[in-house]
Amino acid sequence: MPVPDNLPPLREVIAAFGLAPKKSLGQNFLFDLNLTARIARAAGAEAGGTFYEVGPGPGGLTRALLAEGADKVIAVERDVRCLAALEQVAAAYPGRLEVICADALALDEAAILPQGARIAANLPYNVGTALLIKWLTVPAWPPVWASLTLMFQKEVAQRITAQPDTEHYGRLSVLAQWRCTAKILFDVHRGAFVPPPNVTSAIVRLEPRAEPLAPCALADLETITAAAFGQRRKMLRQSLKPLGGEALLEKAGIAPTRRPEELSIPEFAALARSLARPT
Ligand code: SAM
Protein backbone atom coordinates (compact mmCIF):
# COMPACT_ATOMS: atom_id res chain seq x y z
CA MET A 1 0.00 0.00 0.00
CA PRO A 2 1.28 3.50 -0.80
CA VAL A 3 2.61 5.47 2.15
CA PRO A 4 0.80 8.80 2.81
CA ASP A 5 3.50 11.47 2.73
CA ASN A 6 1.54 14.48 4.02
CA LEU A 7 3.09 16.64 1.30
CA PRO A 8 0.98 19.51 -0.05
CA PRO A 9 -0.98 19.12 -3.31
CA LEU A 10 1.20 19.79 -6.38
CA ARG A 11 -0.78 22.89 -7.38
CA GLU A 12 0.14 24.41 -4.01
CA VAL A 13 3.78 23.41 -4.48
CA ILE A 14 3.89 25.17 -7.85
CA ALA A 15 2.38 28.32 -6.35
CA ALA A 16 4.48 28.27 -3.19
CA PHE A 17 7.80 27.87 -5.04
CA GLY A 18 6.92 30.06 -8.06
CA LEU A 19 7.28 27.23 -10.59
CA ALA A 20 5.47 28.74 -13.57
CA PRO A 21 6.05 26.13 -16.32
CA LYS A 22 8.73 27.07 -18.87
CA LYS A 23 8.22 25.91 -22.45
CA SER A 24 11.96 26.08 -23.15
CA LEU A 25 12.49 23.31 -20.55
CA GLY A 26 9.63 21.13 -21.84
CA GLN A 27 7.73 21.70 -18.59
CA ASN A 28 4.31 20.05 -18.74
CA PHE A 29 3.58 19.01 -15.18
CA LEU A 30 1.35 16.18 -13.93
CA PHE A 31 -0.85 16.99 -10.91
CA ASP A 32 -3.11 13.92 -10.91
CA LEU A 33 -1.87 11.63 -8.14
CA ASN A 34 -3.80 8.64 -9.51
CA LEU A 35 -1.95 9.02 -12.80
CA THR A 36 1.51 9.47 -11.25
CA ALA A 37 0.83 6.41 -9.06
CA ARG A 38 -0.15 4.43 -12.16
CA ILE A 39 3.09 5.41 -13.92
CA ALA A 40 5.13 4.55 -10.82
CA ARG A 41 3.51 1.09 -10.64
CA ALA A 42 4.10 0.59 -14.39
CA ALA A 43 7.77 1.34 -13.71
CA GLY A 44 7.83 -1.38 -11.02
CA ALA A 45 8.14 0.84 -7.95
CA GLU A 46 6.23 -1.64 -5.77
CA ALA A 47 9.16 -4.05 -6.08
CA GLY A 48 11.54 -1.51 -4.50
CA GLY A 49 15.05 -0.87 -5.78
CA THR A 50 16.70 2.25 -7.17
CA PHE A 51 15.00 4.50 -9.73
CA TYR A 52 16.50 7.19 -11.94
CA GLU A 53 14.15 10.01 -12.84
CA VAL A 54 14.94 12.68 -15.40
CA GLY A 55 13.13 15.97 -14.85
CA PRO A 56 11.33 15.59 -11.50
CA GLY A 57 10.11 19.21 -11.74
CA PRO A 58 7.88 19.89 -8.72
CA GLY A 59 8.12 16.19 -7.78
CA GLY A 60 4.81 14.58 -8.79
CA LEU A 61 6.23 11.36 -10.23
CA THR A 62 9.08 11.41 -7.70
CA ARG A 63 6.59 11.34 -4.82
CA ALA A 64 4.65 8.53 -6.50
CA LEU A 65 7.77 6.41 -7.01
CA LEU A 66 8.70 6.80 -3.33
CA ALA A 67 5.16 6.28 -2.05
CA GLU A 68 4.68 3.15 -4.17
CA GLY A 69 7.84 1.54 -2.76
CA ALA A 70 11.04 2.71 -4.49
CA ASP A 71 13.89 2.34 -1.99
CA LYS A 72 15.74 5.21 -3.60
CA VAL A 73 15.19 7.78 -6.34
CA ILE A 74 18.11 9.54 -8.02
CA ALA A 75 16.60 12.50 -9.85
CA VAL A 76 18.30 14.86 -12.26
CA GLU A 77 16.68 18.24 -12.80
CA ARG A 78 18.03 21.09 -14.86
CA ASP A 79 15.79 23.83 -13.46
CA VAL A 80 17.28 25.24 -10.23
CA ARG A 81 13.86 26.71 -9.37
CA CYS A 82 12.62 23.17 -8.60
CA LEU A 83 15.29 22.32 -6.02
CA ALA A 84 13.53 23.77 -2.95
CA ALA A 85 10.33 21.86 -3.77
CA LEU A 86 12.35 18.68 -4.18
CA GLU A 87 14.07 19.29 -0.83
CA GLN A 88 10.60 19.15 0.73
CA VAL A 89 10.05 15.73 -0.89
CA ALA A 90 13.47 14.57 0.30
CA ALA A 91 12.59 15.61 3.86
CA ALA A 92 9.37 13.54 3.70
CA TYR A 93 11.36 10.47 2.60
CA PRO A 94 14.63 10.73 4.58
CA GLY A 95 17.67 9.24 2.85
CA ARG A 96 15.66 8.07 -0.16
CA LEU A 97 15.84 10.98 -2.63
CA GLU A 98 19.05 12.28 -4.18
CA VAL A 99 18.71 15.26 -6.50
CA ILE A 100 21.38 16.16 -9.05
CA CYS A 101 21.06 19.59 -10.65
CA ALA A 102 22.38 18.99 -14.17
CA ASP A 103 21.58 18.45 -17.83
CA ALA A 104 20.61 14.77 -18.12
CA LEU A 105 22.00 14.67 -21.66
CA ALA A 106 25.48 15.32 -20.28
CA LEU A 107 25.42 12.71 -17.47
CA ASP A 108 27.04 9.28 -17.60
CA GLU A 109 24.40 7.02 -16.03
CA ALA A 110 26.86 4.12 -15.71
CA ALA A 111 28.90 6.29 -13.31
CA ILE A 112 25.99 7.33 -11.08
CA LEU A 113 23.54 4.40 -11.06
CA PRO A 114 23.82 1.01 -9.41
CA GLN A 115 23.45 -1.97 -11.76
CA GLY A 116 19.77 -2.81 -12.21
CA ALA A 117 18.40 0.70 -11.58
CA ARG A 118 15.13 1.43 -13.35
CA ILE A 119 14.57 4.62 -15.31
CA ALA A 120 11.17 6.30 -15.00
CA ALA A 121 10.38 9.74 -16.37
CA ASN A 122 7.83 12.13 -17.76
CA LEU A 123 10.41 13.34 -20.23
CA PRO A 124 10.80 16.90 -21.46
CA TYR A 125 9.57 16.55 -25.05
CA ASN A 126 12.36 18.65 -26.52
CA VAL A 127 15.07 16.23 -25.35
CA GLY A 128 13.12 12.96 -24.88
CA THR A 129 14.19 11.28 -28.12
CA ALA A 130 17.83 12.37 -27.68
CA LEU A 131 17.84 10.86 -24.17
CA LEU A 132 16.34 7.60 -25.38
CA ILE A 133 18.93 7.34 -28.16
CA LYS A 134 21.67 8.05 -25.62
CA TRP A 135 20.40 5.20 -23.40
CA LEU A 136 20.07 2.83 -26.36
CA THR A 137 23.51 3.49 -27.82
CA VAL A 138 25.77 2.92 -24.80
CA PRO A 139 28.75 0.78 -25.82
CA ALA A 140 28.28 -1.95 -23.17
CA TRP A 141 25.17 -4.14 -23.44
CA PRO A 142 23.17 -5.03 -21.40
CA PRO A 143 23.23 -1.51 -19.91
CA VAL A 144 23.29 -0.43 -16.26
CA TRP A 145 19.52 0.14 -16.28
CA ALA A 146 17.01 -2.72 -16.03
CA SER A 147 14.03 -0.97 -17.66
CA LEU A 148 12.80 2.33 -19.06
CA THR A 149 9.26 3.53 -18.34
CA LEU A 150 8.91 6.79 -20.21
CA MET A 151 6.33 9.32 -21.28
CA PHE A 152 6.57 10.43 -24.91
CA GLN A 153 4.37 12.18 -27.40
CA LYS A 154 2.22 9.37 -28.76
CA GLU A 155 3.70 9.71 -32.24
CA VAL A 156 7.19 9.09 -30.82
CA ALA A 157 5.88 6.15 -28.77
CA GLN A 158 4.46 4.69 -31.99
CA ARG A 159 7.81 5.12 -33.76
CA ILE A 160 9.64 3.33 -30.92
CA THR A 161 7.28 0.33 -30.96
CA ALA A 162 6.34 0.16 -34.68
CA GLN A 163 6.48 -3.11 -36.64
CA PRO A 164 7.63 -3.45 -40.29
CA ASP A 165 5.12 -2.48 -42.98
CA THR A 166 3.52 0.16 -40.80
CA GLU A 167 3.50 3.94 -41.08
CA HIS A 168 5.69 4.66 -38.05
CA TYR A 169 8.39 2.02 -38.66
CA GLY A 170 11.78 3.68 -39.02
CA ARG A 171 15.27 4.18 -37.59
CA LEU A 172 14.05 4.58 -34.01
CA SER A 173 11.96 1.36 -34.18
CA VAL A 174 14.95 -0.63 -35.46
CA LEU A 175 17.39 0.78 -32.92
CA ALA A 176 15.01 0.41 -29.95
CA GLN A 177 13.78 -3.08 -30.76
CA TRP A 178 17.20 -4.38 -31.79
CA ARG A 179 18.40 -3.94 -28.22
CA CYS A 180 15.12 -3.92 -26.24
CA THR A 181 11.60 -5.18 -26.09
CA ALA A 182 9.30 -2.18 -26.35
CA LYS A 183 5.58 -1.67 -25.84
CA ILE A 184 3.09 1.12 -25.27
CA LEU A 185 1.41 0.61 -21.90
CA PHE A 186 -1.28 3.32 -22.01
CA ASP A 187 -2.14 6.70 -23.49
CA VAL A 188 -2.24 9.89 -21.43
CA HIS A 189 -4.67 12.59 -22.51
CA ARG A 190 -3.20 16.07 -23.05
CA GLY A 191 -5.59 17.42 -20.42
CA ALA A 192 -3.64 15.55 -17.70
CA PHE A 193 -0.76 18.05 -18.03
CA VAL A 194 -0.34 21.65 -16.89
CA PRO A 195 -0.07 23.30 -19.34
CA PRO A 196 -1.60 20.79 -21.79
CA PRO A 197 0.69 19.93 -24.73
CA ASN A 198 -0.75 19.94 -28.27
CA VAL A 199 -0.91 16.17 -28.63
CA THR A 200 -1.75 12.94 -26.79
CA SER A 201 1.09 11.25 -24.90
CA ALA A 202 1.81 7.61 -24.12
CA ILE A 203 3.80 5.62 -21.60
CA VAL A 204 6.32 3.27 -23.19
CA ARG A 205 8.11 0.46 -21.44
CA LEU A 206 11.45 -0.84 -22.74
CA GLU A 207 13.43 -3.73 -21.32
CA PRO A 208 16.95 -4.54 -22.51
CA ARG A 209 17.39 -7.83 -24.32
CA ALA A 210 20.26 -9.93 -22.90
CA GLU A 211 21.64 -9.95 -26.46
CA PRO A 212 20.59 -7.76 -29.39
CA LEU A 213 17.94 -9.35 -31.62
CA ALA A 214 20.55 -10.27 -34.27
CA PRO A 215 24.34 -9.86 -34.27
CA CYS A 216 25.94 -6.79 -35.88
CA ALA A 217 27.88 -3.69 -34.87
CA LEU A 218 25.77 -0.77 -33.64
CA ALA A 219 27.62 1.76 -35.80
CA ASP A 220 27.05 -0.35 -38.94
CA LEU A 221 23.36 -0.76 -38.12
CA GLU A 222 23.04 3.01 -37.71
CA THR A 223 24.83 3.61 -41.02
CA ILE A 224 22.48 1.24 -42.85
CA THR A 225 19.24 2.53 -41.30
CA ALA A 226 20.24 6.18 -41.82
CA ALA A 227 20.84 5.53 -45.54
CA ALA A 228 17.79 3.31 -46.01
CA PHE A 229 15.22 5.46 -44.18
CA GLY A 230 16.84 8.66 -45.43
CA GLN A 231 15.14 7.84 -48.74
CA ARG A 232 12.13 6.02 -47.36
CA ARG A 233 10.13 5.77 -50.60
CA LYS A 234 13.03 4.45 -52.68
CA MET A 235 14.03 0.85 -53.33
CA LEU A 236 17.07 -0.24 -51.33
CA ARG A 237 19.24 -0.68 -54.45
CA GLN A 238 18.92 3.10 -54.88
CA SER A 239 19.15 4.32 -51.29
CA LEU A 240 22.05 1.99 -50.40
CA LYS A 241 24.04 2.78 -53.56
CA PRO A 242 26.73 4.77 -51.69
CA LEU A 243 27.23 1.78 -49.33
CA GLY A 244 27.53 -0.91 -51.99
CA GLY A 245 24.06 -1.02 -53.58
CA GLU A 246 23.08 -4.30 -55.24
CA ALA A 247 26.32 -6.11 -54.25
CA LEU A 248 25.68 -5.31 -50.58
CA LEU A 249 22.07 -6.44 -50.82
CA GLU A 250 23.05 -9.67 -52.55
CA LYS A 251 25.63 -10.42 -49.85
CA ALA A 252 22.88 -9.98 -47.23
CA GLY A 253 20.38 -12.08 -49.25
CA ILE A 254 17.93 -9.22 -49.65
CA ALA A 255 16.12 -8.43 -52.91
CA PRO A 256 17.27 -5.07 -54.34
CA THR A 257 13.70 -4.00 -55.09
CA ARG A 258 12.60 -4.02 -51.45
CA ARG A 259 11.93 -0.81 -49.54
CA PRO A 260 13.19 -0.02 -46.02
CA GLU A 261 9.83 -0.26 -44.23
CA GLU A 262 9.48 -3.89 -45.39
CA LEU A 263 12.69 -5.12 -43.72
CA SER A 264 12.70 -6.90 -40.38
CA ILE A 265 15.32 -6.01 -37.77
CA PRO A 266 17.30 -9.26 -38.42
CA GLU A 267 17.38 -8.25 -42.11
CA PHE A 268 18.78 -4.82 -41.23
CA ALA A 269 21.37 -6.60 -39.05
CA ALA A 270 22.30 -8.84 -42.01
CA LEU A 271 22.88 -5.71 -44.10
CA ALA A 272 24.99 -4.21 -41.31
CA ARG A 273 27.11 -7.39 -41.16
CA SER A 274 27.55 -7.31 -44.94
CA LEU A 275 28.72 -3.73 -44.65
CA ALA A 276 31.25 -4.44 -41.94
CA ARG A 277 34.74 -4.34 -43.33
CA PRO A 278 37.24 -6.98 -42.15
CA THR A 279 39.48 -5.58 -39.39
N1 SAM B 1 8.29 14.99 -13.60
C2 SAM B 1 7.47 16.20 -13.61
C3 SAM B 1 6.02 15.84 -13.80
O4 SAM B 1 5.77 14.71 -14.27
O5 SAM B 1 5.18 16.66 -13.51
C6 SAM B 1 7.95 17.19 -14.65
C7 SAM B 1 7.98 16.67 -16.07
S8 SAM B 1 8.30 17.93 -17.29
C9 SAM B 1 7.56 17.17 -18.71
C10 SAM B 1 10.02 17.75 -17.71
C11 SAM B 1 11.02 18.16 -16.65
O12 SAM B 1 12.35 17.95 -17.16
C13 SAM B 1 10.98 19.61 -16.22
O14 SAM B 1 10.98 19.70 -14.82
C15 SAM B 1 12.26 20.24 -16.82
O16 SAM B 1 12.77 21.30 -16.05
C17 SAM B 1 13.19 19.03 -16.82
N18 SAM B 1 14.25 19.09 -17.84
C19 SAM B 1 14.19 19.64 -19.08
N20 SAM B 1 15.33 19.44 -19.75
C21 SAM B 1 16.16 18.75 -18.92
C22 SAM B 1 17.47 18.23 -19.04
N23 SAM B 1 18.18 18.38 -20.17
N24 SAM B 1 18.01 17.56 -17.98
C25 SAM B 1 17.29 17.41 -16.83
N26 SAM B 1 16.03 17.86 -16.66
C27 SAM B 1 15.47 18.52 -17.69
**Pairwise CA distance, residues 165 & 209, whole Å:** 23
| Ligand 1 surroundings by CB, under 6 angstroms | 25-30, 54-57, 60-61, 76-79, 82, 103-105, 122, 124, 127
Confidence (pTM): 0.96
**Pairwise CA distance, residues 206 & 119, whole Å:** 10
- Split at pLDDT 50, 70, 90, the class of 67 is very high
Closest ligand 1 atom to Cα of 104: 24
Which tens digits make up the pLDDT trace of 74-98? 999 999 999 999 999 999 999 999 9
**Pairwise CA distance, residues 180 & 172, whole Å:** 12
Q: Per-residue pLDDT for 100 more than 60? A: yes
pLDDT of residue 1: 61
Q: Per-residue pLDDT for 155 more than 90? A: yes
Q: For a pLDDT cut of 70, what percent of the chain falls above it?
A: 98
Q: Per-residue pLDDT for 15 more than 70? A: yes
Q: Per-residue pLDDT for 279 more than 80? A: no
**Pairwise CA distance, residues 47 & 30, whole Å:** 23
Handedness of CA 150, 151, 156, 161 (dihedral sign): positive
Q: Per-residue pLDDT for 202 more than 60? A: yes
- Split at pLDDT 50, 70, 90, the class of 278 is low
- Once rounded to an integer, what is the mean pLDDT over residues 187-214? 96
Q: For a pLDDT cut of 90, what percent of the chain falls above it?
A: 95
**Pairwise CA distance, residues 260 & 262, whole Å:** 5
Q: HSE (CB half, 13 Å, CA atoms) of 278? A: 0
Q: Per-residue pLDDT for 195 more than 60? A: yes
By DSSP bridging, strand 29-30 and strand 97-101 are: unpaired
Q: Per-residue pLDDT for 138 more than 60? A: yes
Query: Could you tell me the distance, in angstroms and rounded to a whole number, from the CA of residue 275 to the centre of ligand 1?
Result: 39
- Split at pLDDT 50, 70, 90, the class of 184 is very high
Question: What are the CA-CA distances from residue 60 to residues 31, 65, 66, 266 (Å)?
Answer: 7, 9, 10, 40
- Once rounded to an integer, what is the mean pLDDT over residues 152-170? 97
Residue minimizing CA distance to atom 11 of ligand 1? 55
Q: Do residues 11 and 19 lie in contact, with contact meaning Cβ atoms separated by under 8 Å?
A: no
Residue minimizing CA distance to atom 3 of ligand 1? 29
Query: Could you tell me the distance, in angstroms and rounded to a whole number, from the CA of residue 246 to the centre of ligand 1?
Result: 46
| 3-class secondary-structure state, position 37 | helix
